[in-house]
Structure 1
Amino acid sequence: MYFQMNDRLGISVPYLMKEWADYSIQEQEHIIHQWEQIRGSIPDRIQSLEAEINERQAMLEREENFRRSCRLNEEIGELASIINDLWLWFRTTPSVEKEHIC
């Protein structure tokens, strides 16, 4: 309900229909709990992508076809970009906003 699968990243990311402050404290706590579970999986996802990069780099070292070498470089660049985006999401840590009493 609050998250949507991002196929490129391989994780669910927040998909909030309203401003964070407009959610009740209970909803915020629930969302944060769900996010912490997703967030906890990010290092494993990064490790998997790093292994894919290492495989492609090994293939690149042996590749003699120029076009295939270019394609491998593109794939490595895309995987590195995904890792960068995952680190940004990993550093995202929302907090519960206190209700204002007027």
Structure 2
Amino acid sequence: MLNEFSYDERLGILLPDPKKEWEEFNINEQSEIILIWEKIRGKIPDRIAELEVIINKKQEQLNHEANFQRSCELNSEISELASVINDLWIWYRANQSVSGTKIHQ
């Protein structure tokens, strides 16, 4: 059932990517997909914590950076990481209650 998920390089996690409609899966397949997703979803806060550590390091670098160009690069990197964290929280919250009929995307 892992083939019903695709690795998202930007977010660093597997995301649901069903190859057919939810109703086409039998109940055992649906249960397995939900179980896999809940395991993935449970790791999202850890992934966010990893990214927050990177952001904090980049912010510390930014605090001591004298080069304007490098400061802009660091700001851009921090912004992108913050965007990834936001998207991860959206996935975490939007999928916290998977219904019996569909994985919400």
Please say whether Structure 1 and Structure 2 have the same fold, judged by a TM-score greater than 0.5. Answer: yes
Q: After TM superposition, list the pairs within 5 Å mapping 1:1-102 onto structure 2.
A: 1-91=3-93, 92=95, 93-97=97-101
**Alpha-carbon distance in 2 for matches of 1:63, 1:22:** 55
Letter in 2 for 1:9: L
Q: Quick one: percent identity of the two aligned structures?
A: 54
TM-score, reference length from structure 1: 0.90
Letter in 2 for 1:51: V
Tell me if structure 2 keeps the 8 A contact 1:2–1:14: yes
**Alpha-carbon distance in 1 for matches of 2:99, 2:36:** 13
Q: Deviations over 1:56-85 (max 9, x none)?
A: 000000000000000000000000000001
* Count of residues in Structure 1 that have an aligned counterpart in Structure 2: 97
Segments of structure 1 that go 5 or more residues without pairing to the other structure are: 98-102
User: What is the deviation of 1:19?
Assistant: 2.1
Letter in 2 for 1:71: E
TM-score, reference length from structure 2: 0.87
Structure showing greater Rg: 1
User: What is the deviation of 1:95?
Assistant: 2.0
User: What is the deviation of 1:22?
Assistant: 2.6
User: What is the deviation of 1:21?
Assistant: 2.5
Tell me if structure 2 keeps the 8 A contact 1:32–1:95: no
- Moved beyond 6 Å, runs of 4+: none
Segments of structure 2 that go 5 or more residues without pairing to the other structure are: none
User: What is the deviation of 1:7?
Assistant: 1.1
**Alpha-carbon distance in 2 for matches of 1:12, 1:82:** 14
